[in-house]
Chain A
Amino acid sequence: MTAKALTQQPIRHYGMEALRVLGALLIIFFVIFPIFWLFLTSLKNEGDTWSSSLSFTPTLSNFSQLFDGKPYDFGRMLLNTFFVSVVSALFSVPIATMAAFAFSRYRFIGKDLLLVAVLASQFLPGVVVLIPFFILFRDLQLLDTLTALIIMHLSGGIPFGIWMLKGFIDSLPVEIEEAAVVDGASEFGVLRHITGPLIMPGIVTVTVLSFIGSWNEFMFAFILTKTDAARPMMVGIMSLSGIRGTPWNLMAAASLILMVPVFILSLSIRRYFVQGLTMGAVK
């Protein structure tokens, strides 16, 4: 720091500092308040929902009411969400890891073009993919099944995983792998025992982001499912709105059940979260 900058600072120091702290507090309010309000609402009984007073008797009855199976089977729908998210991640992560390794470590014809295609395919509007698959699923009697949803989720998860994991593998020095080959490791052995463990943070990140992506997905499920047997909870919440209005206390409880796991997962991979969601725009 230079002499002039030092002498200038104390003059506005306290005023600026107070403004910055105030700004930070405003940001906290902006970010947290809607979530906090949802949390409060999820603990209210139906009567208290209409009031904005902070004094009410908290109750967990909304959560138990959601899972009593009537008239909508939220237990089943939450299980659907979980199942689709886990299976999609289990399929897409290994497939993406293999492809990312090939893209990072091997040369082949059309590689650059293929990479751009992989990146661009993540930005395909969902409806373009949905139109043919809707018809295909109808012909194959797969409409309103979990299988259909998993297939749709692979379409987004794999290119995303390839793109992110390629970044992780690129940052590893190739010499380690070459040394292993000299020592007699097979090519699969290199991926399995050398590269794989070294990019474990990347694999965990992609698995978590793939899981979150499926968990939060709405459009595919909205269009492809009809019954509680296949419907993820994200869409199922909609059926809470009836002719007699919406029971917001139940809606808030259901929303919170879907939000909290994603909060925990997002915070656990905080370091890579931004990078993942901007397709590697930021490192």
Chain B
Amino acid sequence: MQRGKYFKIILLGPALIILAATAAYPLGFTFAMSFRNWQLAKSFTPQDFIGFDHYVRAFTDDIFLNSLKVTLEFVALSVPTSILLGLAMALILQRPTNLNRFVRILLILPFAVAPALKGYSWRFMLDPGYGIFDQMIDFLFPVLKDIVWLQEPFWALTALAITEIWGWAPLIALVFVGALGVIDPEIPDAARVDGANDWQVFRHVTLPLLRPIIMLMTLLRIIYSLRLFDQVATLTGGGPGRSTETLNFFIYRTGFRFLDIGYASALAYILMAILFVVTFLYVKALMRDPQNDS
């Protein structure tokens, strides 16, 4: 259809106006502010232009470097575990038995729980006094009995990762079950005829066929992990100390607690730059994926 010049303007207009206002304008504004001094508590308008000072300051700021480290540690703790656990679950639930079909329906539920609520509820379940998970872990691994989960830097970050893994692994499993379902059964069968055992079939046939979707889900998980915020606010508050203060949470503190708009803008742009690289890879992989024609 190649008609209606005005009609397509009417169709696109509202969406483009809102996107310009809620994406393009903030991008430009935040970029401009990242080169200026602006303490909202002291002044209602942006102050002097200071060039790249905020960016230079960031890379000598221990608190920023710490938040960067925490964010990367969080990615390392939560992304591979959720992908591997999701893959394991998918292999278990692969065949469409009645039990498996029922479990697949349940897999949606953890992801449907709001991230903020995951934080609240895991804080309760990990409570050292009476939390049910604290008691279960103490029972299963007596070595860990004395650990006060949210009071020790490593375990607090692990607890954050658990909330993410609990939410994502089942969803990833669902994605992989779908991907396993479209593999032509003749391909693994042919490998078995050639004498491959189950492990070899998985390692050399199934896994390579799943590679594109594993890649895609890994990138998606990295994007979401880099932006982690809700559970930090509701589970750990960034503590103990600053041991779970992710980059996104540090930006929030800088901008909306200490009202240092200029510095927060520069930090937000650093986060954007990191996210941009991963998002670029994701969009590229998404566009290239042959089973995806849109």
Q: Which residues of A contact B (CB under 8 A)?
A: 1-2, 4-5, 8, 20-21, 23-24, 27-28, 30-32, 34-35, 37-38, 41, 49-52, 95-96, 98-99, 101-103, 105-108, 114, 116-121, 123-135, 151-152, 154-155, 158-159, 162, 166-167, 170, 174, 177-178, 181, 187-188, 191, 212, 215-219, 222-223, 234-235, 237-238, 246, 248, 251-252, 255, 258-259, 262-263, 265-267, 270, 273-274, 277-283
Q: What is the CA–CA distance of A216 and B234 in the complex, to the nearest angstrom?
A: 13
Residue B106 lies at the interface, judged by CB distance under 8 Å to chain A? yes
Task: Fill in one digit per residue for B98-141: 1 if any A CB lies within 8 Å of its CB, else 0.
Answer: 01100101111111111111001111110001101001000000
- Asked whether A188 lies within 8 Å of B30 as measured between CB atoms, the reply is no
Could you list some 25 contacts between A and B, CB below 8 A? A2-B189, A2-B193, A5-B193, A28-B103, A31-B109, A38-B121, A95-B18, A102-B8, A105-B1, A106-B4, A114-B16, A120-B279, A125-B275, A128-B268, A131-B261, A218-B234, A219-B229, A234-B114, A234-B116, A237-B117, A252-B121, A262-B114, A281-B217, A281-B286, A283-B291
Nearest-Cβ distance from residue A124 to partner chain B, whole angstroms: 6
- Taking a contact as CB atoms closer than 8 A, the residue among B7, B115, B123, B294 that contacts A218 in the complex is B115
A185 CB to closest chain B CB, in angstroms?
12
| Contact between chains at B109 and A266 (CB < 8 Å) | yes
Where the two chains meet, the residues of B that have a C-beta atom closer than 8 Å to any C-beta of A are 1-4, 7-8, 10-12, 14-16, 18-19, 22-23, 25-27, 29-30, 33, 40, 88-89, 92-93, 95, 99-100, 103, 105-117, 120-125, 129-130, 132, 135, 166, 170-171, 173-175, 178-179, 189, 192-193, 213, 216-217, 220, 223, 227, 229-230, 233-234, 248, 251-252, 255-256, 261, 264-265, 268-269, 271-272, 275, 279, 282-283, 286, 289, 291-294
User: With the chains together, A187 CA to B100 CA distance in Å?
Assistant: 46
Given contacts A125-B248, A188-B7, A218-B116, 15 further A-B contacts (CB under 8 A): A8-B192, A37-B132, A52-B130, A129-B23, A131-B30, A152-B22, A159-B23, A177-B1, A178-B1, A216-B117, A218-B229, A278-B216, A278-B217, A281-B286, A283-B292
Chain B residues whose C-beta falls within 8 Å of the C-beta of A162 in the assembled complex: 15
Q: Which residues of B contact A118 (CB under 8 A)?
A: 19
For the complex, give the distance between the alpha carbons of A97 and B26 in Å: 24
* Distance from B176 Cβ to chain A, minimum over Cβ atoms (Å): 9
Shortest CB distance A54–B (Å): 11
B18: which of A101, A158, A283 is its contact (CB, 8 Å)? A158
Looking at the assembled complex, report how far the CB atom of A257 sits from the nearest CB atom of chain B, in whole angstroms.
10
A35-B109, A132-B29, A274-B174 as given contacts; A5 in contact with B192, CB under 8 Å = yes
| B22–A127 touching, CB < 8 Å | no
Q: Which residue of A lies closest to B165 (CB)?
A: A30
Minimal beta-carbon separation of A217 from chain B (angstroms): 8
Q: Which of A32, A99, A238, A259 is most buried by chain B, counting CB atoms within 10 A of its CB?
A: A99
With A154-B22, A174-B1, A223-B256 in contact, is A95–B130 under 8 Å at CB?
A: no
B106 touches A128 (CB 8 A): no
Report Cα–Cα, A239/B181, bound state, in Å. Answer: 46
B113 touches A95 (CB 8 A): no
Residues in chain B near residue A158, CB distance under 8 A: 15, 18-19, 22
